[in-house]
Amino acid sequence: MCGIIGYIGKKTNIQKQLIDSLKTLEYRGYDSAGIAYVTDKVNIIKSKGKIANLEEKIDREEQGCLGIAHTRWATHGGASDNNSHPHRVGKVTIVHNGIIENYMEIKSLLEKEGYKFKTETDTEVACALLDYLKSKNIWNNLEVIREFAGYIKGSYALGIIFDDDLDTLYATRKDSPLIIGLGKDENLIASDVSAVLKFTKKYCLLDNYDIVKLTKEKVQIYNKDLKSVCKEQLEVNWNVEQAEKNGYDHFMLKEIHEEAKVLKDTINEYVENLDSFVDKMPDMRKYDKIHIVACGSAMHAGLIGKYLFENYPEIETTVEVASEYRYKKVFYDDKTLVILISQSGETADTIASLRKAKEDHIDTLAIVNVVSSTIAREADQVLYIRAGVEIAVATTKAYLLQVAMLMLINLKLMVEREKIDSSKLKEILKLLKSSPEYVEKVLADEKKYFKIAEKIYKDEDIFFIGRGIDYAMSMEGSLKLKEVSYIHSEAYQAGELKHGTISLIENHTKVIALMTDEDLALKTISNIKEVKARGADVILITTEKLDSDFEFVNEKVTLPKVDSYLIPILAIIPLQLIAYQVAKLRKCDIDKPRNLAKSVTVE
């Protein structure tokens, strides 16, 4: 969603500090951007569009050492200069990430008090409420913020500057992410730790309703009762270079090429040896049902999990989109395990689903990338993937590791249900430890996949088909393509296409067919022939074991010879690379596709 950064400290070129840090948050949303900085007063500059547009407006000569900045993913009110943050009402200036659900109710209360509003945003209302509470009472600023929380329904992370205290940066959060960067004679607030890296690797996390008072020298944190609280000081274990492109044209390509390394890091953490593997995986013996809940690509990884859990340990598994799960009637009990999958650990719908399960006293297990994120902290158990920072909005390496983690969980479920003996387990664990080498082999064929991209990048409708696990992988392949290239694409169960959608197949319609499941291969071939008979151009992704001349397909990608257990990790890589190259050929904004944000922290 939106990105927030606030700085107070020794550096005086405040505009540069804010803009440079804001750029590291641009992947969170980029409809507009703005800064507020203090000289002898609060100055605000904001602009529709990317941060580069804002940069053109600022006067770098002006000095200051306190400021807040924001990059926006529009929720209330379109992308415009006027709706951009920071917002200023009366003697208060704020930046906000989240949604104030009851903002209309508060707005009419404040209009009765004489407030007039210039924008369509919920944030301006939040700012006016702070100003109203400040002006109507003799409270100090901490008390104003505490009272503010009592009015609000919804989510917020706020950076706040009060005119009567221009040496202090205030902040607070509820359900939207916000961290505190702990520097030397400088302190920061940010939506995520990547924005503070150039200042410090030390940071701390905030709990809901915490209120922060930052000066150059001091960080004071209070709970909702205004009691001073201490927070654990954490340290980032990666550096700015890792957050840079390292010579690749785009973060997406860089992150695809990191997949072998991060897979090795993750597998090695959990599979040092047989005993450690069993101990590191959660005890799941009591469960007879699993719900996997996530959004987007994380949900697609969950589809792979369902296939694995039902076919190997034979445990009933459902996969649900979190935005539905959080509101629907759910049938679970103390023998159900709810697994939440989230790269960011901050996706609002997935958080809400987690909280729903916990309210119903159902056990929860999270598969998360961002350490100490909300989902990681609130789930009963968490299994971290070690993808490192993932900047590209379209996830690649994190998705692959989510699948790998589900494969590890699957093995543990098989052990607990005596569906695998120790020699077979050792064999598969050894195979998993060698999986990074297979990833490298697939990546080495990059040029092959780029050639396929050249054949399809001008198309406007591309279908993906597959059966069983191939359908699950088709879902992710289709989403990757849509996200970065803006080509309309649909993934279909290969056997389902003929029940209607095949009417869309005409001469040279592109169909990407996944065929890696040996048991279903012949059926998939029949479906390929069905679309071929209607004029489609078919690109087949298959395995060395299933390979044949297949003269009826137009293009073919054959994965390297590997045990079928590793296919779910490997088969997605060609689809990621094809999507990347198609987007590049279409000159799309690959790392920051239009309308998207890396972490959807509002519902």
Cross-strand bridge partners of residue 581: none
Residues between 425 and 484 with contacts to ligand AGP, criterion CB under 6 A: 483
Residue 52 CA to residue 165 CA, distance in Å, equals: 31
Residue 22 CA to residue 189 CA, distance in Å, equals: 11
Q: Which stretch binds ligand AGP (CB under 6 A): 189-197, 291-299, 408-416, 489-497?
A: 291-299
The catalytic residue positions are 2, 598
Query: At closest approach, how far in Å is the CB of 599 from ligand AGP?
Result: 5
> Of 33 and 298, which has the nearer Cβ to ligand AGP?
298
> Of 15 and 344, which has the nearer Cβ to ligand AGP?
344
Angle at which helix 572-585 crosses helix 469-485, to 10 degrees, equals 20
Of 404, 348, 405, the C-alpha closest to 373 is 348
| In the complex, residue closest to ligand AGP by CB | 296
Which residue in 313, 599, 601, 602 binds ligand AGP (CB under 6 A)?
599
**Per-residue interface string for the shown chain with ligand AGP, residues 294-313, x marking contact by CB under 6 A:** -xxxx---------------
Query: At closest approach, how far in Å is the CB of 252 from ligand AGP?
Result: 9
> Of 169 and 475, which has the nearer Cβ to ligand AGP?
475
> Of 259 and 537, which has the nearer Cβ to ligand AGP?
259
Total residues contacting ligand AGP (rule CB under 6 A)? Answer: 15
Residues between 319 and 358 with contacts to ligand AGP, criterion CB under 6 A: 342-344, 347, 350
Query: At closest approach, how far in Å is the CB of 393 from ligand AGP?
Result: 5
Residues between 180 and 219 with contacts to ligand AGP, criterion CB under 6 A: none
CB atoms within 10 A of CB 112: 8
Query: At closest approach, how far in Å is the CB of 29 from ligand AGP?
Result: 12
User: Does 395 contact ligand AGP by CB under 6 A?
Assistant: yes
> Of 123 and 601, which has the nearer Cβ to ligand AGP?
601
Residue 460 CA to residue 463 CA, distance in Å, equals: 10
Residue with the two structure tokens 């900047």: 391
> Of 24 and 347, which has the nearer Cβ to ligand AGP?
347
Q: Which stretch binds ligand AGP (CB under 6 A): 161-169, 180-188, 390-398, 534-542?
A: 390-398
Q: Which stretch binds ligand AGP (CB under 6 A): 125-133, 388-396, 507-515, 551-559?
A: 388-396
Sign for the pseudo-dihedral over CA of 390, 394, 396, 400:
positive
Which residue in 122, 600, 601, 602 binds ligand AGP (CB under 6 A)?
600
8 Å CB contact between 96 and 138: no
**How buried is 283 (Cβ within 10 angstroms: 0-12 exposed, 13-18 middle, 19+ buried)?**
exposed
Residue 567 CA to residue 543 CA, distance in Å, equals: 8
Residue 284 CA to residue 277 CA, distance in Å, equals: 14
End-to-end CA distance of the chain: give it in Å, rounded. 10
Residue 32 CB contacts under 8 Å (≥ 6 apart), including other chains = 46, 47, 48, 49, 71, 72, 74, 79, 80, 81, 83, 84, 85
Residues making contact with ligand AGP (CB under 6 A): 295-298, 342-344, 347, 350, 393-395, 483, 599-600
